[in-house]
């Protein structure tokens, strides 16, 4: 019984999973990502982020990054590919 | 594009040195700062955010531009009172005048009564002097389509302070001489975004929510329009959200194939087939089949003789354990396949994806909002 409640407590303390939302606009694609732990790389053609539960790599051209106060990140540009990767930063 | 409040209250263009870019971004993420940065490390900040930035980071990692926007202009021209008050007055007049509709330019196809069309526009609220913010173009277009029997298509565009209205005539057959009469119903659930009727009577409008099977365009015209029965033709674009989900278990199976063996061999002469070797047994599901036909050529001419070989390979399923890396990539590939299948006949509007490990499973769920033609023709049974 005690073990069960411990498990439940651990589960509630676990950070939320990542969330991705993509929208198409006339100038390109906007990808909004929450649950970002770290920005590993940011250049004109690639953004690599460490998320809760894995990594994500976004490739394209003319990429810009917008940080929001709630820790959410928006990547905008001509996005060609995104890949889910596993592994710690 | 610079934010309006930045222009009004002043802003700075900041450049982060390349070697400090990743450090600065991660620290900003932790400190919950908000800004838009490009790959050169350039971003804009308001005058009050500059102080916070200076308190959090060393000044050495940035280069600042002088203050930009209206404060910069005011500082340069602070003693020219006439110029500044003139600009303010003109801006105010310009802003007030842009709130009104200055002209309504109507272009009608032959057969539409222009005077009546203008009256309908007035009744809908689109007239010279109306306030732009009180007008909803889609609502006006729909009310015109529903209220006039002649109008089949309406488009209202705003250019500056002028409204451009274009109208086309509805095709109504004079006599119901067709053999097939049909209605248009919804093939799927959705919210209608656009409806263009070629023939028939629209019973729904943009913004309406419909369920699969609901009547969209009636093939039976109302009494006011002659009461004829027609073959309804329309394109109804609707927006709908579907959920695509994949789940990859840690424990999976993989199919391995044994080396092939010759199970059947036959010779085909003209259209007759002679079996030389034929293996017995049920090979249906457990074996993969490879068929090889070898025609015979003599002096580059095909003769009516052909050897047919059939090879079989036994399938063996083995269980394996996926690494987290494999689970994520397998889920991404599977989700991609499902997404392509879903978007074969529709256009993607937006996509939300959630993913994560749940016990021994990795789950990816995408909420896909897409638009598609939901019009489905259903024949009207008369009798």
Q: Is residue A21 less than 8 Å (CB to CB) from chain B?
A: yes
Question: Are the C-beta atoms of residues B144 and B155 closer than 8 Å to each other?
Answer: no
Q: Is B357 on the interface with A (CB under 8 A)?
A: yes
Q: In this complex, do B324 and A86 lie within 8 Å of one another by their Cβ atoms?
A: yes
The tokens for B83 are 């110029």
Picking from A66, A67, A84, the nearest residue to B328 by CB comes out as: A84
Q: Do A54 and B355 touch (CB under 8 A)?
A: yes
Is the separation of the CB atoms in B291 and B310 below 8 Å?
Answer: yes
Q: Which long-range contacts (CB under 8 A, 24 or more apart) does B359-364 make?
A: B360/B249, B360/B250, B360/B251, B361/B247, B361/B248, B361/B249, B361/B250, B362/B247, B362/B248, B362/B324, B362/B327, B362/B328, B362/B331, B363/B245, B363/B246, B363/B247, B363/B248, B363/B331, B364/A84, B364/B245, B364/B246, B364/B331, B364/B332, B364/B335
Is a pLDDT exceeding 50 seen at residue A14?
A: no
Residue A63 pLDDT level (bands cut at 50, 70, 90):
very high
pLDDT category at A15 given cuts 50, 70, 90 is: very low
pLDDT value at position B14? 92
Q: Which of B332, B287, B331 is nearest to B312 (CA)?
A: B287
User: Bridge partners of B264?
Assistant: B278, B310
Write down the mean pLDDT value for chain B. 85
- Rounded to the nearest angstrom, the minimum Cα separation between A69 and chain B is 4
- In this prediction, residue A45 carries a pLDDT of 92
pLDDT > 90? residue A46: yes
In this predicted model, what pLDDT tens digit does every residue of B7-28 receive, in sequence order? 888 899 999 988 888 899 998 8
User: CA of A15, closest CA in chain B: separation in Å?
Assistant: 11
Give the global pTM. 0.45
Asked whether this complex has an ipTM greater than 0.90, the answer is no
Q: How far is CA A55 from CA B94, B327, B329, B347, in A?
A: 50, 13, 11, 28
Of the pLDDT bands very low, low, confident and very high (cuts 50, 70, 90), residue B176 is low
Strand pairing category for B35-38 and A54-67: antiparallel
Encode pLDDT of B114-171 as tens digits: 888 888 888 888 888 888 888 888 788 878 877 777 787 888 888 888 889 888 887 6
Q: Return the pLDDT at A88.
A: 52
Instruction: List chain A residues with CB under 8 Å of B33.
Output: 67, 69
pLDDT in tens, B320-355: 888 888 888 888 888 888 888 888 888 888 888 888
State the nearest Cα–Cα gap between B27 and chain A, in angstroms: 9
Q: Is the Cβ of B35 closer than 8 Å to some Cβ of chain A?
A: yes
Best of B353, B359, B362 to substitute, by most chain A Cβ atoms within 10 angstroms, is B353
Q: With 0-12 CB in 10 A as exposed, 13-18 as middle and 19+ as buried, what is B111? A: exposed
What is the distance of C-alpha B12 from the center of its chain? 37
Question: Residues near B314 by Cβ (< 8 Å), separated by ≥ 6?
Answer: B257, B258, B286, B287
pLDDT digits (tens, 9 = 90+) for B191-217: 998 888 878 888 888 888 999 989 998
């Amino acid at each position: 019984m005690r073990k069960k409640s411990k498990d439940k407590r651990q589960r509630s303390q676990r950070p939320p999973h990542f969330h991705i939302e993509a929208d198409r606009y006339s100038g390109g694609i906007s990808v909004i990502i929450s649950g970002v732990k770290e920005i590993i790389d940011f250049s004109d053609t690639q953004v690599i982020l460490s998320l809760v539960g894995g990594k994500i790599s976004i490739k394209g051209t003319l990429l810009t990054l917008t940080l929001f106060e709630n820790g959410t990140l928006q990547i905008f540009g001509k996005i060609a590919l995104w890949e889910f990767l596993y592994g710690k930063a | 594009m610079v934010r309006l409040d930045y222009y009004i209250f002043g802003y700075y263009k900041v450049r982060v040195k390349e070697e400090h870019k990743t450090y600065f971004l991660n620290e900003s993420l932790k400190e919950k700062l908000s800004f838009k940065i490009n790959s050169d490390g350039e971003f804009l900040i308001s005058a009050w955010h500059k102080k916070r930035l200076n308190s959090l980071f060393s000044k050495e990692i940035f280069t600042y531009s002088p203050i930009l926007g209206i404060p910069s202009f005011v500082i340069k021209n602070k003693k020219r009172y006439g110029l500044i008050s003139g600009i303010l007055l003109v801006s105010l007049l310009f802003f007030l005048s842009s709130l009104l509709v200055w002209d309504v330019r109507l272009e009608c196809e032959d057969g539409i009564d222009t005077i009546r069309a203008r009256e309908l526009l007035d009744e809908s609220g689109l007239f010279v002097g109306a306030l732009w913010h009180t007008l909803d173009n889609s609502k006006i277009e729909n009310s015109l389509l529903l209220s006039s029997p002649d109008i089949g298509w309406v488009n209202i565009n705003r250019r500056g302070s002028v409204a451009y209205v274009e109208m086309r005539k509805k095709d109504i057959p004079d006599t119901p001489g067709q053999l097939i009469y049909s209605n248009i119903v919804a093939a799927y659930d959705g919210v209608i975004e656009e409806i263009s009727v070629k023939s028939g009577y629209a019973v729904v409008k943009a913004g309406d929510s419909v369920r699969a099977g609901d009547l969209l365009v009636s093939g039976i015209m109302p009494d006011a329009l002659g009461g004829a029965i027609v073959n309804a033709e329309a394109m109804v674009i609707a927006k709908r959200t579907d959920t695509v989900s994949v789940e990859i278990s840690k424990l999976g199976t993989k199919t391995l194939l044994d080396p092939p063996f010759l199970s059947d061999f036959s010779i085909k002469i003209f259209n007759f087939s002679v079996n030389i070797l034929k293996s017995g047994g049920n090979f249906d599901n457990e074996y993969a089949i490879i068929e090889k036909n070898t025609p015979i050529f003599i002096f580059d001419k095909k003769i009516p003789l052909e050897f047919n070989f059939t090879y079989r390979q036994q399938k063996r399923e083995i269980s394996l354990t996926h690494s987290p890396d494999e689970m994520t990539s397998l889920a991404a590939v599977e989700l991609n396949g499902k997404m392509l299948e879903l978007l074969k006949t529709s256009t993607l509007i937006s996509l939300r994806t959630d993913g994560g490990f749940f016990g021994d499973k990795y789950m990816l769920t995408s909420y896909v909002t897409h638009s598609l033609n939901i019009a489905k023709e259903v024949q009207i049974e008369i009798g």
